[in-house]
């Protein structure tokens, strides 16, 4: 059965970062995942740290880096890791704007609220620039598209309250734009619309329709236009360049509920990168057993139609996600289990898992459940280290309230990077050398 | 609508019973007015397991109740077919059920007039493979499931046809009593806080578990013993028929398929205040444990939420508290308060949804006699309006209807429950102004596995468009108020759904909840929007959220 | 309860069976992002709608105890018929919902109690059409090659006139094997031991249309020290399953299982050259046909896709790797069925052992044909649109030949691109022969 220097489990930002970094370092890496999750559910941006009061992600990281938080271990890596990843993405044709030093600002959401961001895909970046006092914001989307309601979004954004004291556009207008043939379509979702923008001919006509609607909505006033994040999927770069050229107002994309088009773009770019550097990426693989020998993981078994597919490995990056991502399972009687290795999970008391108010600004204690690690992200339990060649990354790490602290992407990237580096460091004389002579990764890009 | 200043009879309580009473009064030529403090069917009626009783649950301990159930079961199938799904029901003897109860069951059914056939256990298991394979015997009875909100809607429509009226979001806050008679009631509009007075000749309290509170306003004592019944909603129908344990009624012994879900009922715990109670994890665990005797895989099936209703149980003053709440009669009682010094005031207490029409009939008989009206009751005879050609409800109808229109998901606002934009628009047209939660009861929007994650903001968008259109001539300030209202409705809706998820939060449903939080907070920035728990001044529709299923 | 039990319990909570797996849906829409059919047509509302969503509106089973009017509307939806069954949705679902399988069962329900369309029945009966076709091969092939006749077929039975229908072989592989006295495992026959022989499940494609593939597989196995046993066998039943004809499929399974199980119990591995047939033996007898007997289990455990088997030999150091040089670009398409095996992409790993062979994964989800789906007149255009990017890539590669493990995909790619498309073992055999040639002095000249 196949071998790999490193198996990475999980295709979220943490697993993708680790795999990309390892592949780049020359390791034979195999990323396996049950399915898509966090990339396809998220905004496509990179939330590094934006706790209340933080002015930049760097400041946020410093605030959060108290004992018990993943940043207590990872703070020093965040800047380098995020810089490296955005560099990789730029090379892959999906440039991002912003860094850890970029001021955190409020940008509009598809619900007509705002969220605090600093590092976003280029297509979302125009929302980050401060608003001039006379600027108009036009919220424009295809008529009949059920995941973006321009009138509602504009109505809500017209209120001071949602801007929380930051500068804001002078006027907000909502426009629903009728696109040719769309009203007759029976299946319209964000991905479908994004593919429509991939096609140069349809795109030109659609952008002209948008342009006309914007001219009548904004007149000659200066301003920007918020579009749902549907401007191209495979041909996003071309589509976005076209949108900028053809629209009378400067556009920015607003991410939507899943399926997230910016998230799918991110996944595709990183997958392509990993494959291009010799790594394998297999989604649809349910790891059902991990074989251990003493304090080491030696193989990973995947569910198959009959015989489990067994992959021997020198190291493991566990990036299976928290409860939302399915990497941790909460049982009815109040336990939280990490089902692959049965790692010790730091679990809040059952009575306090969820606060009384769904929208409690303090977040819910259960979000902080997770695995404790040492500085190289190896899991530790009450009796010390558990496995020597396992590194935990992403939402599995204990101590983060990712929603409140807006730190999930930064922790994922920094921990993916740290895990990869730790393996490379220990593996130069060990893991990598020991296994790379054998039958390893096979030809570049052999898996889907 | 504006509240009329006079009514022959004022009916308090917009549950099934009150609706039945106002309909009956109207059909006997009286001009009645029903008032409800929230939306219709948001008290006990809507917080109910959905069972159309065959009477089988009462054949052993209360044959009168059993007989009433089967008779009313037949009446409702005739007058309200499209509110009913003819699921059929079974009483099954698990290894835990006592032999004597099982052996006497068929005879008890016969004695109460409840149709009952013993069926071959293997045949039943072939139809219902999720059932416990160790079931020993099975009896088939004409149980069904019933949609309470549609039933109330139709019942009120019939009352209106016959000249009576109903208003929601109006709370009775006091009575004028002169010479031992109520002459008027003071109402408060729960949306804007304004007060009005309705002059009336007679008052019927159909306030159920709240009857004691209403009676107190007239200086009358009615001692209710509200019994909290907690139920669990499962994501899919592991059974297409109602399944009851063949034993003396207890916790967690009935599963009712209702629309796309199945509801496991119930507990029965005395609560001091029908508006203030909590569902505990222990109750949930107990229900699942008991339910597992019917469906062994239950612990692995996904629970969408827990909810509770409060039974309007009445404790007659003479009856001592022995044997806990289950020994209190499920049958109803009509209390004429003349003996307590108020001559034109009756309360109808106890009872159950299945017998609501009979309760109404008997109540109106009392009222009619006291008012000297001789018209007889006709509510059992004519079908209610909006009952689609006499057909009973069919689970597949929404899917079939959507397919018949060409299919596709572009128009689906709620993907779990297949609510289209046009269905939602039609509801809003009929019921505007209303809350998202009213829309939920009317269309089932947000009642599926995602509990509103993917539809709530769409519905909010639809409502916002409507408000936007309404405010076209209005000021920007008005629009901002409308937007704030939509936000609060959204927050309220998500909070209410959360309440039901919290006691059962584990496994997939907790995962879904955290994913939803991630989307609303991380992508949609809900937390940035005007704090939904603090209503801004001047808001046109205060949140009135009262979620059941 | 030990912690191991607890972990198993938690894992079980996340590892549902087909029937109840709809319960696991998070409504997250990931399945819709990967559906190749939804991408190209409005006729299919997508896997989320048809699978976990619509499932809640389909009565579980007890229609007998439903209301009086439900009997005439047994299945509420028909759009599920546009699911091609490629299985990508199941692959991508983070919650383990067996979406494609739910859809397949719903398709079967759709047809329950109705007479199958002649076309669907005929496309399901691959062994019957194969038998007739090979018997009458000159005539049958003339018909298949005749545009007018194909138009007539489209009008009468609904098989699209341009859909890829391969030519029938002059003689079935089975007939040739018997005529040549090959081992059949019949009673009394002396068999080589299970380390020296394997059972070959040829499936309908190699039997009726591509006997040369069967010969190539047997030759490759022989070079690795394995004799081949070809027991009597009928169609695995997959075409019947995907056309919703479960009872007919169970009948096929009933004739295959005892024969194969007997050999499997004696230690023989069952090797197939069709990823579809081998997956049916491995999983669908149990999962889709609800067969849970011991025969089904032992056959499932003994079954190998040929590339999976060869790669396993290689892992053990037992594969003959004396491949000669094949200087060529080779576009490779991994069929959807292969993913369901969960064995990775063994063909590509084998190609990597052949000097000079530059195999490239086309990295496209689905060729569109999905068994018999793309042959149907109402679905042909959908299938072609689904596969279009793949066809473009194959053509753009300029390669002289392409490769794919599954027969209907090969025919689809070949018909759509004009590039001859062959099974991976055929290239391996070429490479062995190239190796032979390089080693013989005559060839060296």
User: For the segment C6-16, what is each residue's pLDDT rounded down to a tens digit?
Assistant: 444 544 444 44
Whether residue A123 has pLDDT greater than 70 = yes
Q: Are the beta carbons of C280 and C371 closer than 8 angstroms? A: no
Spatial strand order of the sheet with A171-177 comes to: A171-177, A136-142, A223-228, A250-254
Residues from chain A that touch C312, judged by Cβ atoms under 8 A, are 1
Whether residue B440 has pLDDT greater than 90 = no
pLDDT digits (tens, 9 = 90+) for A188-223: 899 999 999 999 999 999 999 999 999 998 888 899
Name residue, tokens 């003994």: C302
Nearest CA in chain C to B412: C49
DSSP state of A366: G
What count of other Cβ atoms lies within 10 Å of the Cβ of residue C328? 15
Whether residue C311 has pLDDT greater than 50 = yes
Query: B538 touching A, CB under 8 A?
Result: no
Query: B398 touching C, CB under 8 A?
Result: yes
Query: Phi first, then psi: what are they for A260, rounded to 5°?
Result: -85, 115
Taking a contact as any Cβ pair under 8 Å apart, which residues of chain A between 332 and 351 contact chain B?
332-334, 350
| CA trace torsion B451, B453, B458, B459 (10° rounding) | 30
Whether residue C67 has pLDDT greater than 60 = no
Nearest CA in chain A to C32: A259
Q: Do A303 and C342 touch (CB under 8 A)?
A: yes
Q: Helix count (H) and strand count (E) of chain A? A: 12, 19
Q: Do B508 and C26 touch (CB under 8 A)?
A: yes
Whether residue A433 has pLDDT greater than 60 = no
Residue B433, CB-side half-sphere exposure with 13 Å CA sphere: 17
Rounded Cα–Cα distance for residues A70 and A398 (Å): 7
Residue C244, CB-side half-sphere exposure with 13 Å CA sphere: 26
* Local structure of C400: helix, strand or coil: coil
**Nearest-CA distance C312 → chain A (Å):** 6
Greatest pairwise CA separation for chain C in angstroms: 84
| CA trace torsion B250, B251, B252, B254 (10° rounding) | 40
pLDDT digits (tens, 9 = 90+) for A293-351: 999 999 999 988 888 888 999 999 999 999 999 999 999 999 999 999 999 999 999 98
At residue B545's C-alpha, the angle toward residues B541 and B549, to 5°, is: 145
Listed in sequence order, the residues at least 6 apart from A94 whose beta carbon sits closer than 8 Å to its beta carbon are: A121, A236, A237, A265, A266, A269
Query: C312 touching A, CB under 8 A?
Result: yes
pLDDT-based confidence at B84, cuts 50/70/90? very high
Residue from A304, A293, A421, A285 nearest A10 by CA: A285
* Local structure of A302: helix, strand or coil: strand
Whether residue A446 has pLDDT greater than 90 = no
Residue C4: the pLDDT is: 45
Report which of residues C277 and C12 the model is more confident about: C277
Give mean pLDDT, residues B94-122: 95
Residue from A342, A332, B520, B515 nearest C95 by CA: B515
DSSP state of B274: T
**What are the tokens at C243?**
């056309």
**Nearest-CA distance A239 → chain B (Å):** 23
Listed in sequence order, the residues at least 6 apart from B414 whose beta carbon sits closer than 8 Å to its beta carbon are: B443, B444, B445, B446, B448, B454, B455, B458, B459
Query: Residue B511 is nearest to which of A110, A149, A323, comparing CB atoms?
Result: A323
Q: Do C315 and A1 touch (CB under 8 A)?
A: yes
Q: Do B301 and C95 touch (CB under 8 A)?
A: no
Query: Residue C57 is nearest to which of B85, B297, B418, comparing CB atoms?
Result: B418
Q: Are the beta carbons of C167 and C211 closer than 8 angstroms? A: no
pLDDT digits (tens, 9 = 90+) for C324-345: 999 999 999 999 989 889 888 9
Lowest mean pLDDT among A360-364, A423-427, B533-537, C15-19: B533-537
Residue C415: the pLDDT is: 94
Q: State pTM to two decimals.
A: 0.89
Q: What is the DSSP string of C334-383?
A: --HHHHHHT---HHHHHHTTSTTEEEEE---S--S-TTTGGGBTTTHHHH
Residue from B308, B272, B304 nearest B417 by CA: B304
Q: Do A258 and C30 touch (CB under 8 A)?
A: yes
DSSP state of C284: I
What count of other Cβ atoms lies within 10 Å of the Cβ of residue B410? 21
Nearest CA in chain C to A307: C301
Residue B313: the pLDDT is: 86
Q: Are the beta carbons of C71 and C121 closer than 8 angstroms? A: no
Rounded Cα–Cα distance for residues A304 and A287 (Å): 10
At residue B340's C-alpha, the angle toward residues B337 and B345, to 5°, is: 25
Instruction: Please state, rounded to an integer, the average pLDDT across all residues of chain A.
Output: 91
Report which of residues B299 and C60 the model is more confident about: B299
What count of other Cβ atoms lies within 10 Å of the Cβ of residue B143? 28
Residue B547: the pLDDT is: 33
Query: B514 touching A, CB under 8 A?
Result: yes
Residues from chain C that touch A448, judged by Cβ atoms under 8 A, are 334, 339, 345, 361, 363, 365
pLDDT digits (tens, 9 = 90+) for C385-420: 999 999 999 999 999 999 999 999 999 999 999 999
pLDDT-based confidence at B542, cuts 50/70/90? very low
Whether residue B544 has pLDDT greater than 70 = no
Rounded Cα–Cα distance for residues C17 and B363 (Å): 52
* Helix, strand, coil distribution of chain A in percent, nearest 5: 35, 20, 40
Give mean pLDDT, residues B366-388: 92
Query: C13 touching B, CB under 8 A?
Result: yes
Rounded Cα–Cα distance for residues A119 and A97 (Å): 6
Query: C41 touching B, CB under 8 A?
Result: no
Neighbours of chain C (3+ CB pairs under 8 A): A, B
Rounded Cα–Cα distance for residues A55 and B305 (Å): 40
Residue C165: the pLDDT is: 85
Rounded Cα–Cα distance for residues C435 and C429 (Å): 10
Residues from chain A that touch C282, judged by Cβ atoms under 8 A, are 305-306
Whether residue B327 has pLDDT greater than 50 = no
Q: Do A332 and B507 touch (CB under 8 A)?
A: yes
| Parallel, antiparallel or unpaired: strands A250-254 and A390-392 | unpaired
- Tell me the Cα Rg of chain B: 23
Query: C155 touching A, CB under 8 A?
Result: no
Instruction: Please state, rounded to an integer, the average pLDDT across all residues of chain C.
Output: 87
Residues from chain C that touch B394, judged by Cβ atoms under 8 A, are 66-67, 69-70, 73
What's the distance, CA A132 to chain centroid? 31
**Nearest-CA distance C438 → chain A (Å):** 25
pLDDT-based confidence at B388, cuts 50/70/90? low
Taking a contact as any Cβ pair under 8 Å apart, which residues of chain B between 337 and 396 contact chain A?
none
pLDDT-based confidence at A14, cuts 50/70/90? very high
Substitution target in B126, B403, B412, B506 with the highest count of C β-carbons within 10 Å is: B403
Query: Residue C349 is nearest to which of A339, A446, A448, comparing CB atoms?
Result: A446
Q: Are the beta carbons of C356 and C327 closer than 8 angstroms? A: yes
Query: Residue B523 is nearest to which of A187, A188, A257, comparing CB atoms?
Result: A257
- Tell me the Cα Rg of chain C: 22
Residue B479: the pLDDT is: 62
Q: Are the beta carbons of B13 and B208 closer than 8 angstroms? A: yes
Residue from A419, A403, A113, C95 nearest B519 by CA: A403
Residue A1: the pLDDT is: 54
Q: Do B418 and C55 touch (CB under 8 A)?
A: no
Quote the ipTM score: 0.92
Rounded Cα–Cα distance for residues C203 and C201 (Å): 6
**Nearest-CA distance B346 → chain C (Å):** 39
3-state SS record for B179-218: CCEEEEEEEEECCCCCEEEEEEEEEEECCHHHHHHHHHHC
Report the percent of chain A where pLDDT is more than 90: 79
pLDDT-based confidence at B538, cuts 50/70/90? very low
Residue A362: the pLDDT is: 85
Query: Residue B396 is nearest to which of C29, C48, C76, comparing CB atoms?
Result: C76
Q: Give whole-number Cα distances, A124 to A98, A153, A169, A231, B241, in Å.
A: 11, 17, 16, 11, 52
Q: Do C26 and B86 touch (CB under 8 A)?
A: no
Residue B328: the pLDDT is: 53
Q: Do B528 and A113 touch (CB under 8 A)?
A: yes
Give mean pLDDT, residues B345-368: 95
Substitution target in C92, C331, C337 with the highest count of A β-carbons within 10 Å is: C92
Rounded Cα–Cα distance for residues B374 and A315 (Å): 89
Name residue, tokens 């380390």: C195
Residue B498: the pLDDT is: 87
What count of other Cβ atoms lies within 10 Å of the Cβ of residue B104? 14
């Amino acid at each position: 059965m196949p071998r790999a220097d490193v198996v990475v489990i999980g295709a979220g930002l943490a697993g993708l970062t680790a795999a990309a970094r390892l592949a780049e370092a020359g390791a034979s890496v195999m990323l396996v995942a049950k399915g898509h999750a966090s990339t396809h559910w998220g905004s496509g941006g990179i939330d590094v740290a934006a706790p209340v009061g933080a002015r930049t992600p760097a400041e946020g990281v410093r605030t959060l880096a108290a004992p018990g938080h993943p940043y207590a271990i990872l703070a020093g890596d965040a800047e380098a890791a995020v810089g490296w990843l955005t560099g990789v993405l730029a090379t892959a044709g999906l440039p991002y704007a912003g860094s850890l030093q970029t001021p955190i600002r409020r940008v509009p959401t598809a619900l007509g609220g705002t969220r605090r961001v600093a590092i976003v895909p280029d297509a979302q970046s125009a929302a980050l620039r401060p608003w001039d006092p006379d600027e108009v914001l036009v919220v424009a989307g295809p008529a009949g598209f059920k995941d973006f309601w321009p009138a509602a979004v504009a109505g809500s954004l017209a209120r001071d309250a949602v801007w929380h004291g930051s500068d804001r556009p002078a006027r907000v207008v909502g426009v629903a734009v009728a696109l040719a043939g769309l009203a007759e379509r029976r299946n319209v979702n964000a991905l479908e619309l994004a593919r429509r923008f991939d096609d140069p001919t349809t795109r030109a006509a659609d952008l002209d329709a948008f342009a006309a609607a914007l001219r009548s909505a904004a007149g000659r006033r200066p301003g920007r236009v918020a579009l749902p994040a549907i401007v191209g999927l495979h041909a996003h770069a071309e589509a976005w360049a076209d949108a900028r050229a053809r629209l009378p107002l400067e556009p920015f994309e607003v991410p939507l509920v899943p399926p997230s088009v910016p998230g799918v773009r991110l996944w595709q770019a990183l997958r392509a990168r990993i494959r291009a550097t010799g790594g394998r990426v297999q989604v649809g693989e349910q790891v059902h057993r991990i074989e251990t020998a003493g304090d080491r993981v030696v193989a990973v078994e995947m569910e198959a139609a009959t015989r489990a597919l067994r992959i021997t490995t020198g190291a493991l990056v566990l990036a299976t996600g928290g409860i939302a991502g399915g990497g941790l399972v909460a049982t009815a009687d109040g336990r939280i289990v990490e089902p692959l290795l049965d790692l010790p999970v730091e679990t809040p008391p059952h009575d306090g898992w969820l606060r009384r108010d769904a929208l409690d600004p303090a977040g819910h204690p259960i979000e902080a459940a997770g695995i404790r690690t040492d500085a190289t992200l190896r899991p530790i339990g009450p009796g010390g280290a558990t496995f020597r060649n396992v590194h935990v990354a992403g939402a599995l790490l204990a101590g983060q309230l990712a929603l409140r602290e807006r730190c999930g992407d930064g922790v994922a990237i920094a921990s993916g990077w740290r895990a990869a580096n730790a393996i490379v460091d220990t593996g130069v004389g060990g893991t990598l050398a020991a296994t790379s002579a054998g039958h390893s990764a096979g030809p570049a890009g052999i898996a889907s | 609508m504006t509240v009329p200043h006079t009514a022959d009879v004022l009916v308090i309580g917009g549950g099934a019973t009150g609706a039945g009473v106002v309909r009956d009064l109207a059909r006997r030529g009286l001009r009645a007015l029903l008032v409800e403090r929230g939306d219709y069917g948001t008290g006990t009626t809507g917080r109910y397991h959905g069972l159309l009783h065959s009477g089988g649950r009462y054949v052993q301990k209360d044959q009168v109740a059993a007989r009433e159930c089967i008779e009313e079961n037949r009446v409702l199938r005739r007058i309200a077919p499209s509110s009913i799904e003819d699921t059929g029901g079974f009483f099954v003897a698990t290894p835990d059920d006592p032999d004597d109860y099982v052996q006497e069951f068929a005879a008890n059914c016969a004695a109460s007039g409840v149709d009952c056939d013993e069926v071959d256990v293997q045949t039943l298991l072939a139809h219902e493979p999720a059932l416990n394979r160790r079931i020993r015997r099975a009896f088939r009875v004409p149980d069904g499931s019933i949609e309470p909100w549609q039933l109330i809607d139709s019942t009120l429509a019939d009352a209106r046809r016959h000249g009576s009226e109903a208003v929601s979001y109006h709370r009775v806050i006091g009575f004028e009593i002169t010479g031992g008679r109520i002459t008027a009631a003071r109402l408060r509009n729960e949306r804007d806080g304004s007060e009005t007075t309705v002059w009336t000749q007679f008052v019927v309290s159909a306030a159920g578990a709240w009857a004691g509170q209403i009676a107190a306003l007239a200086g009358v004592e009615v001692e209710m013993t509200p019994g909290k019944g907690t139920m669990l909603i499962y994501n899919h129908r592991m059974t297409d028929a109602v399944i009851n344990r063949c034993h003396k009624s207890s916790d967690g012994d009935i599963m009712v398929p209702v629309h796309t879900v199945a509801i496991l009922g119930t507990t029965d715990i005395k609560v001091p205040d029908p508006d203030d109670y909590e569902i505990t994890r222990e109750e949930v665990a107990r229900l699942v444990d008991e339910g597992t005797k019917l469906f062994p895989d239950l612990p692995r099936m996904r629970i969408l939420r827990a909810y509770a209703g409060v039974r309007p149980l009445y404790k007659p003053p003479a009856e001592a508290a022995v044997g806990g709440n289950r020994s209190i009669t499920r049958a109803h009682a009509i209390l004429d308060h003349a003996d307590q010094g108020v001559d034109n005031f009756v309360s109808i207490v106890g009872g159950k949804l299945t017998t609501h029409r009979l309760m109404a009939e008997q109540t109106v008989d009392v009222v009619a006699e006291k008012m000297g009206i001789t018209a007889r009751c006709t509510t059992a005879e004519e079908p209610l309006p909006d009952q689609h050609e006499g057909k009973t409800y069919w689970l597949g109808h929404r899917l079939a209807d959507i397919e018949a229109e060409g299919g596709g998901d572009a128009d689906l606002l709620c993907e779990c429950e297949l609510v289209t934009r046009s269905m939602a628009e039609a509801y809003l047209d009929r019921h505007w102004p209303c809350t998202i939660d009213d829309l939920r009861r009317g269309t089932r929007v947000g009642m599926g596995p995602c509990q509103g994650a993917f539809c709530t903001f769409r519905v909010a968008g639809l409502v916002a468009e409507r408000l936007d259109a309404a405010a076209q001539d209005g000021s920007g300030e008005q629009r901002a108020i409308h937007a704030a209202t939509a936000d609060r409705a959204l927050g309220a809706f998500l909070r209410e759904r959360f309440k039901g998820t919290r006691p059962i939060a584990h496994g997939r449903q907790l995962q879904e909840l955290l994913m939803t939080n991630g989307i609303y907070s991380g992508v949609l920035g809900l937390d940035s929007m005007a704090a939904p728990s603090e209503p801004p001044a001047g808001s046109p529709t205060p949140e009135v959220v009262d979620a059941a299923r | 309860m030990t912690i191991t039990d607890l972990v198993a319990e938690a894992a079980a909570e996340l590892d549902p069976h087909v029937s109840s797996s709809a319960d696991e849906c998070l409504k997250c829409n990931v399945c819709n992002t990967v559906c190749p059919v939804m991408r190209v047509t409005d006729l299919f509302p997508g896997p989320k709608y048809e699978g976990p969503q619509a499932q809640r509106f389909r009565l579980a089973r007890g229609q007998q105890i439903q209301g009086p009017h439900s009997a005439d509307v047994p299945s509420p939806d028909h759009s599920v018929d546009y699911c091609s069954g490629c299985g990508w949705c199941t692959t991508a679902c983070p919650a383990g919902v067996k979406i494609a399988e739910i859809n397949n069962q719903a398709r079967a329900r759709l047809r329950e109690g109705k007479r199958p369309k002649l076309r669907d029945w005929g496309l399901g009966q691959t062994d019957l059409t194969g038998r007739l076709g090979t018997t009458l091969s000159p005539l049958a092939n003339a018909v298949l090659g005749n545009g007018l006749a194909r138009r007539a077929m489209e009008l009468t039975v609904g098989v699209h006139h341009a859909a890829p229908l391969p030519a029938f072989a002059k003689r079935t592989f089975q007939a040739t094997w018997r005529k040549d006295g090959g081992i059949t495992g019949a009673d009394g026959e002396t068999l080589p031991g299970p380390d020296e022989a394997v059972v070959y499940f040829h499936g309908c494609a190699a039997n009726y249309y591509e006997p040369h593939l069967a010969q190539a597989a047997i030759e490759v196995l022989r070079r690795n020290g394995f004799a081949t046993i070809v027991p009597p066998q009928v169609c695995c039943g997959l075409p019947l399953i995907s056309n919703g004809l479960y009872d007919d499929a169970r009948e096929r399974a009933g004739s295959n299982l005892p024969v194969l199980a007997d050999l499997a119990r004696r230690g023989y591995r069952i090797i197939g050259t069709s990823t579809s047939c081998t997956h049916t033996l491995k999983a669908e007898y149990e999962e889709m046909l609800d067969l849970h007997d011991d025969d089904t289990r032992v056959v499932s455990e003994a079954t190998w896709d040929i590339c999976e088997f060869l790669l396993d030999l290689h892992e053990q150091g037992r594969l003959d790797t004396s491949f000669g040089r094949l200087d060529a670009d080779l576009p490779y398409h991994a069929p959807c069925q292969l993913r369901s095996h969960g064995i990775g992409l063994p063909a590509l790993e084998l190609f990597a052992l052949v000097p000079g062979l530059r195999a490239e994964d086309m990295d496209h989800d689905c060729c569109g044909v999905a068994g018999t789906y793309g042959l149907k007149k109402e679905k042909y255009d959908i299938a072609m649109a689904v596969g279009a990017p793949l066809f473009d890539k194959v053509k753009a590669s300029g390669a002289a030949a392409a490769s794919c493990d599954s027969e209907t995909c090969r025919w689809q790619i070949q018909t759509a691109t004009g590039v001859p498309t062959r099974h991976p073992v055929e290239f391996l055999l070429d490479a062995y022969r190239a190796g032979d040639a390089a080693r013989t002095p005559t060839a060296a000249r």
